[in-house]
């Protein structure tokens, strides 16, 4: 019997010689710089069922700051009964203070749902706070236990006291593009709701596509509605969810209308615990990849950010939803 020749040695794995990055092709019609408002530690984690320790949260904030995010929303002073994941807000702030991050040059805003939350934020030494309202009556009732008008009576003293204390105040407006209970939300209704928050003194208004149904034309119509009401893009931020894969296209549409501040969540984490059709936020890494390709400056180190989201995914026990994180993972 003739001996069989030994099998050939396996070929070495192909080694990529080039680490992918977007080729920069600037668009002169778009802004040359954009502010990314990182919401991962608050909005990203609030809907996670896996318990994240306070130490991991503090490390996440530190890593995001080190990656160059100019604003990192740290937590919410909400009652633990409503959002158990964020029930350690005071302990987290103490850890951030120990690490020299609380009160540093990088703003670490906190969400305050009511006056009790504001009291806790003031006691902790917060300098930036955010409030949260709805553009629709049903969600206001479900989330805030107030009707559409009544929610303003609740938030007005919060805004007034925060402004009197010298704090910067951001206002989130949810359900700006659609509501799972009410359906389509008229542009005029959103503009009226947002203008009321700005008239109360909010420094910035973040318009939320809470269930991710917005499209390019809808973004343009909403921003045109605000402009017609006397509110320019410099007062606005956009908060897109990527439920239907429209978040990046909507970002470009908003930039064409002059918006230069966008909310995003590291790794694409997040949703809304009170609206089950609200899936993940726009991933910060996906947003940075888009902006880098357009030559738009953000100051964010994408490599460090990808590593941070990979590290966090390990703590959560599941892969990151971000396409860029998955593509660039070591």
Q: Which residues are catalytic?
A: 272
DSSP helix/strand/coil, 261: strand
Could you tell me which residues come within 8 angstroms of residue 21 by beta carbon, excluding any fewer than 6 positions away? 292, 302
DSSP helix/strand/coil, 263: strand
> In angstroms, how far is the first alpha carbon of the chain from the final one?
48
| Phi, psi angles (nearest 5°) of residue 30 | -110, 160
User: Structure tokens of 151?
Assistant: 């929610």
Could you tell me which residues come within 8 angstroms of residue 283 by beta carbon, excluding any fewer than 6 positions away? 242, 264, 265, 266, 267, 268, 309, 320, 321, 322, 323, 324, 325
Could you tell me which residues come within 8 angstroms of residue 203 by beta carbon, excluding any fewer than 6 positions away? 168, 169, 170
User: Structure tokens of 64?
Assistant: 């995001």
- Residue in the structure block whose two tokens are 């984690």: 45
- Residue in the structure block whose two tokens are 């966008």: 262
Q: Which of 279, 207, 270 is nearest to 244 (CA)?
A: 279
């Amino acid at each position: 019997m003739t001996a069989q020749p030994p099998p050939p040695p396996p070929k070495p794995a192909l080694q990529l010689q080039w680490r992918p990055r977007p080729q920069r092709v600037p668009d002169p019609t778009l802004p040359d710089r954009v502010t990314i408002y990182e919401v991962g530690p608050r909005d990203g984690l609030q809907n996670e069922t896996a318990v994240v320790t306070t130490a991991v949260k503090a490390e996440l904030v530190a890593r995001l700051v080190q990656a160059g995010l100019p604003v990192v929303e740290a937590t919410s002073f909400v009652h633990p009964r409503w959002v158990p994941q964020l029930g350690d807000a005071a302990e987290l702030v103490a850890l951030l203070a120990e690490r020299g991050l609380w009160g540093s040059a990088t703003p670490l805003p906190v969400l305050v749902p009511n006056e009790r939350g504001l009291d806790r934020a003031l006691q902790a030494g917060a300098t930036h706070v955010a409030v949260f309202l709805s553009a629709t009556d049903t969600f206001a009732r479900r989330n805030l236990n107030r009707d559409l008008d009544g929610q303003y009576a609740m938030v007005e003293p919060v805004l007034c006291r925060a402004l009197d204390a010298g704090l910067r105040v951001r206002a989130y407006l949810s359900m700006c593009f659609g509501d799972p209970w009410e359906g389509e939300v008229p542009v005029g209704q959103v503009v009226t709701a947002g203008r009321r928050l700005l008239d109360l003194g909010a420094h910035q208004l973040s318009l939320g596509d809470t269930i991710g149904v917005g499209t390019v034309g809808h973004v343009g119509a909403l921003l045109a509605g605000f402009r017609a009401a006397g509110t320019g893009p410099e007062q606005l931020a956009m908060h897109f969810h990527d439920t239907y894969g429209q978040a990046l296209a909507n970002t470009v549409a908003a930039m064409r209308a002059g918006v230069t501040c966008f909310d995003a969540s590291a790794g694409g984490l997040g949703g809304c615990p009170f609206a089950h059709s609200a899936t993940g936020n726009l991933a910060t890494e996906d947003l940075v990849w888009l902006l880098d390709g357009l030559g738009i400056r953000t100051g964010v180190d994408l490599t460090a950010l990808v590593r941070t989201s990979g590290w966090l995914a390990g703590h959560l026990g599941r892969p990151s939803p971000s396409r860029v994180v998955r593509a660039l993972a070591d």
